[in-house]
Structure 1
Amino acid sequence: MKPVAMTLLALALSGCSLAPTHERPAAPVPAQYDTPAQPGQAAAPQDWRAYFNDPALQAWITAALANNRDLRVAALRIEEARALYGVQQSERLPSIDASGEFSRGRATEPGQSGTAVSSRYRAAVVITAFELDFFGRVRSLSDAALARYLASEEAHRAATLALVAETATAYFNQRSLAEQLRLTDDTLALRETSLKLTQRRYDAGLETAIGLRTAQMLVESSRATRAELTREASLARHALGLLAGDFALPLGVDPAPLESQSLTPLAAGLPSELLTRRPDLRQAEQALRAANADIGAARAAFFPSVQLTTDIGTTADRFSDLFSGGTGGWSFAPRLTLPIFNAGRNRANLSLAETRKHIAVAQYEGSIQAAFRDVADALSARDALRDQIEAQRKVRDADRERQRLAERRYARGVANYLETLEAQRSLFESEQEYIRLQQRRLVNAVDLYKALGGWDDGASPAS
């Protein structure tokens, strides 16, 4: 009898599964990117500390990972999903309770005038309504809870990667504005000096009114640009502080120009590698696994349900005799429930589960396409920015030489001051644009790092 009971228990605990077999949908993207890999490019993933080697930026990212409220919510979502999985997993094992009862009553015996008072004590170990999972309903619900728990972990990884990328982008944006502001201050000082010189020459009759007004216009234009950049730099600093949860962190002592800041070029690899690299894709796949498990639970609802209630205990008239001279007893009460009519509820639940799976498949495929586009866009932008920066460097160098020649010509008296002022204005604009392109180069590197899935923090549970 004992082997039979153990066999039934094993069958109940394991059960069969009616869930569809999980198959990863085919990736609806090309087999490779249009932009080929370049020699010397590092293969992702890289730890963010190795990729972002600026100490000031590392301090900001570290603070963001420790203090950001959105990331904290994502971490709490993991705890929530883990608890729900624990609750659902416990349903696969019987719940064993100890119970104690006491009753006291008065009864009149037939043919007697008096009454009798009786007391009863009972202690028992009870298993109440344990479902024998022959058709895998409980197992499917547990599998769904596990998949959602793993999906929450991947969501936290995705949120972490997004926060690192957002912090780096905000940092480079702030650095760019600060560098443009320093350039504007230098240009403003130069233009104010030029205005004083032009005013003296105008007072001496050596400069035209047009030259004087042009010098005044350039000074006021620099002041307006400085005011706008000051406003934008303040907003960028606030955005960076919000991401890090700390508005008091320093930006670094006299940081080097953005032109000297470099991030390791990354090799994109193959689009199929994104399925295991990117946490958002692993999250979408876990959602698909959960949808499959929900279908298994919905299918199991069409089959009989067997629940077992049993207890074993002892009964006595006196408490002192309960565990020594009491009367032992047990009960075994299985219950079979077969669905006959429920107004189409089971069929509707199955249809709902299947529809949600179709939604999960579509979302998964959409996530893959979005991931492919993220990488392809970043690669295309990287190549375009490289050419654009090289062209803009030549423009800047040409403007520098032009200004030097204009000042020499003016000093020799072979050119008017308008030519010098125009050269100063053109150089300022080309240098500003060069700084902005350097910022876009660094942000593009951040975008590619994020699009490729960032770093590998060990074996993913989604795998």
Structure 2
Amino acid sequence: MLKKKIYWGLGLAGICVGLASCKVPSITQKVENKQVPSSYGSSTDTLNTGKVQWKAFFADQNLNSLIDSALKRNQELQITLQELEIAKSEVRIRQGLILPTVGVRAGVGLEKVGRYTSQGAGDASTEITPGREVPDPLADYLVGVYGNWEVDIWHKLHNAKKAAVSRYLSSVEGKNFVVTSLVAEIANSYYELLALDSQLAIIKQNIDLQSKALEIVKIQKEASKVTELAVRKFSAELSSTQSLQFEVQQKITETENRINFLLGRYPQPIVRASTSITDLTPAKVYAGIPSQLLSNRPDVKQAELALAAAKLDVKVARAEFYPSLGISASLGMQAFDPHYLVKFPESMLYSLAGELVSPLINRNGLKAEYSIANAKQIQAVYNYERTILNAYVEVANQLSNISNSQNSYELRLKQVDELTKSIDISNDLFRSARADYLEVLTTQRDALEAKLELVETKKKQMNAVVNIYQALGGGWN
């Protein structure tokens, strides 16, 4: 009869579980597109600058020293490293859910029930030993071990752990991406600082020339060769150039402080090369082939791992529709008197239970969780594809930038050479009264602007090399 009831109960439970497991949503995962063009142009060379370590890529030891300090002290990078620890702890949490939970329990209690209750109405005169009744109030002493374990039938817990691992690895790639960005930002700021130094030197030279020209005009005015207007014009031009000097000095201060901020320290002078930026030669860059971006770029790998985690989240959400099997057990000693705790087996207690739980009614919450997980997985696919596309576009843009900035620099250099010669010519013509002072001022102004633009073009050229190094995935290894 007892077996019949057990079988009947198991059958009923099986029917309920079967009904609850009906209409489980199917997985509708979007497949990501990893296709990239075969090359950036006509070249199919696989030599890739992105694999070069930053200490070998940058030849300036002052710059390398700044980068090394930033990698040790930058606050944003330190925050990212703590995010890695958080992701690592999440993996440990998921691992712990797979394993059984075992604990030790010890307790002491005291209970006094009313005489006219269902408990108190029993036989209160029951004797444990002759002449001794059940104590009232009744104490309770317990020492035991208990355990719980959810059997991972549908791999829900294992998939959740795998998703946590993928997110941890994605965080590692996120840290690498922060490193590449940090290295590039420091290098670009360093070259901007060198450019500002060069521009300041040019402005100071021009101030000396304009000061000498102003003295000459004053002498000519005393000789009645020019009017007071010419003196005023030369003096105004000198003031304008002197004002520009202070603007550049302010930019130098701000750039130095930006580098100090990236290094995680308070403002102080930045040690840098004393040579003009126009004397620097950009490093040779090899772009390789686009498919190498999938393994070189940290942000691409980060998006790929985030996509893998999102796919596993869909499986975890789907497994929530299936029944879960839990097993609980306990073993210990229990008695109303501490002296009886050592009596074996009279005071021994044990239990073993299995529980099959499955959602039956009102599964809208589970459906919503599954819908969210599926939508996030589709988002992750598009984010992955967008990251690959962005990586290719960045490399293509910087390759074009390197070529165009080189051509622009050569033309700027020719312009500066011509205008520098024209300054001497205009001064000679002015002294011989064959050119007026406005032509001299215009020539000097044009030459100054051309020299400053030449420095700016060289800075853009150096920045383009840094940017393509970052776009190729360089700087984190």
TM interval, shorter chain, is: 0.7 to 0.9
Matched, 1:397 2:405: no
Secondary structure, aligned partner of 1:266: coil
Contact 1:198 1:207 in 2 (8 A): yes
Counterpart position of 2:376: 356
Who is 1:184 aligned against?
Answer: 203
**TM-score, normalised to structure 2's length?**
0.83
Task: Determine if the alignment matches structure 1 residue 234 to structure 2 residue 253.
Answer: yes
The count of aligned residue pairs is: 438
Question: Among 385, 388, 399, which residue is 2:405 paired with?
Answer: 385
TM alignment of 1:111-260, pairs within 5 A: 115-117=133-135, 121-128=141-148, 130-209=149-228, 211-252=230-271, 255-260=274-279
Query: CA-to-partner distance for each residue in 1:192-222, whole Å, 9 max, x for gaps?
Result: 1110111011111233555434422321221
CA RMSD of aligned residues (A): 3.0
Q: Which region of structure 1 is more displaced relative to structure 2, 427-436 or 202-211?
A: 202-211
Report the CA distance between 1:28 and its aligned residue: 5.4
Secondary structure, counterpart of 2:52 in structure 1: coil
Q: Residue 24 of structure 1 contacts residue 285 of structure 1 at CA under 8 Å; is this kept in 2? A: no
- The one-character-per-residue Cα deviations of 1:29-62 (angstroms, maximum 9, x if unpaired) are 43321374799x7632221122222222223222
Aligned position for 2:32: 25
> For residue 411 of structure 2, what is the amino acid of its counterpart?
A
- Structure 1 stretch displaced more, 424-433 or 330-339: 424-433
Shift in CA distance, 36/219, structure 1 to aligned 2, threshold 3 Å: farther
Relative distance call for 1:20 and 1:163 in structure 2 (3 A) is farther
Q: Residue 291 of structure 2 aligns with which residue? A: 272
Distance 2:44 2:416 in 1: 30
Indicate how the Cα distance of structure 1 residues 42 and 345 shifts in structure 2: closer, same or farther if over 3 A, else same. closer
3-state DSSP class of the match of 2:98? coil
Per the alignment, residue 109 of structure 1 pairs with 125
Q: Tell me the distance in 1 between the aligned counterparts of 2:342 and 2:386.
A: 66
Distance in 2 (CA, whole Å) between partners of 1:177 and 1:396 is 18
Does structure 1 retain, via aligned residues, the 8 Å contact 2:49–2:469? no
Cα separation, 2, equivalents of 1:19 and 1:268: 43
2:84: which partner in 1?
78
Q: How far apart are the structure 1 equivalents of 2:447 and 2:251?
A: 22
Secondary structure of 1:131's match?
strand
From 438, 451, 454, give the equivalent of 2:474.
454
Q: What one-letter code is carried by the residue in structure 2 that aligns with 1:70?
A: E
Asked whether the 8 Å contact 1:108–1:114 carries over to 2, the reply is: no
Which has more radius of gyration? 2
User: Amino acid of the residue matched to residue 366 of structure 1?
Assistant: R
Shift of residue 408 of structure 1? Answer: 5.0
Contact persistence 2:256–2:270 (CA under 8 A): no
Cα distance in structure 2, aligned partners of 1:19 and 1:170: 52
Q: Among residues 61, 71, 80, which one is paired with 2:67 in the alignment?
A: 61
- For 2:273 and 2:61, the matched residues in 1 are separated by 13
Which 10-residue stretch deviates more, 248-257 or 62-71? 248-257
Partners of 1:42 and 1:367 in 2: CA distance:
19
Identity %: 25
Long gaps (5+) in structure 1: 1-17, 458-463
Following superposition, the deviation at residue 103 of structure 1 comes to 5.2
On the 8 A contact 2:31/2:381 being kept in 1, the answer is: no
Partners in 2 of 1:123 and 1:253 — Cα distance? 71
Which residue is equivalent to 1:91?
97
* Alpha-carbon offset, residue 88 of structure 1: 1.3
Mean CA deviation greater in 301-310 or 246-255: 246-255
Whether the 8 Å CA contact 1:151–1:282 is kept in 2: the answer is: yes
Q: Structure 1 pair 409/110, CA: closer, same or farther in 2 (3 Å)? A: closer
How far has the Cα of 1:426 moved from its partner?
Answer: 2.6
CA distance in 2, matches of 1:294, 1:363: 16
1:19–1:294 CA contact under 8 A, matched in 2? no
In the TM superposition, residue 162 of structure 1 has moved relative to its aligned partner by 0.9
Distance 2:301 2:28 in 1: 17
The letter of the residue matching 1:53 is: A
Structure 2 CA distance, aligned partners of 1:237 and 1:121?
71
Gaps of at least 5 residues in structure 2 are 1-24, 113-122
Structure 1 42/275 Cα, relative in aligned 2: closer, same or farther at 3 Å? closer
**Further displaced range: 436-445 or 23-32:** 23-32
Contact 1:28/1:365 (<8 A) preserved: no
Note if 1:424 corresponds to 2:405. Answer: no
Match of 2:354, SS? strand
Indicate if the aligned counterparts of 1:19 and 1:140 stay in contact, CA closer than 8 A: no
Provide the secondary structure at the position in 2 that maps to 1:384. Answer: helix
Work out the CA distance in 1 between the residues paired with 2:329 and 2:41: 67
Please report how far the alpha carbon of residue 316 of structure 1 lies from its aligned counterpart in structure 2 after TM superposition: 6.2
**Cα 1:104–1:226 shift into 2, 3 Å:** closer
Aligned equivalents of 1:203, 1:103: Cα separation in 2: 114
Partner letter of residue 383 of structure 2? Q
**2:93 counterpart letter in structure 1:** V
- Partner deviation per Cα, 1:77-135 (whole Å, 9 max, x = no partner): 1111111221111101111112234456788325999633376654332112x110000
> 1:320 Cα deviation (Å)?
6.7
CA distance in 2, matches of 1:404, 1:430: 16
Aligned letter for 2:380? Answer: A
Work out the CA distance in 2 between the residues paired with 1:218 and 1:200.
18
Q: For residues 35 and 52 of structure 1, do their structure 2 counterparts lie closer, same or farther at Cα, with a shift above 3 Å needed? A: farther
Q: What amino acid does structure 2 have at the position aligned with 1:178?
A: D
Please say if residues 46 and 456 of structure 1, whose CA atoms lie closer than 8 Å, have aligned partners that are also in contact: no
Distance 1:333 1:183, change over 3 A: same
> Residue type matched to 1:432 in 2?
L
Task: Give the deviation of 1:248 after TM superposition.
Answer: 4.1
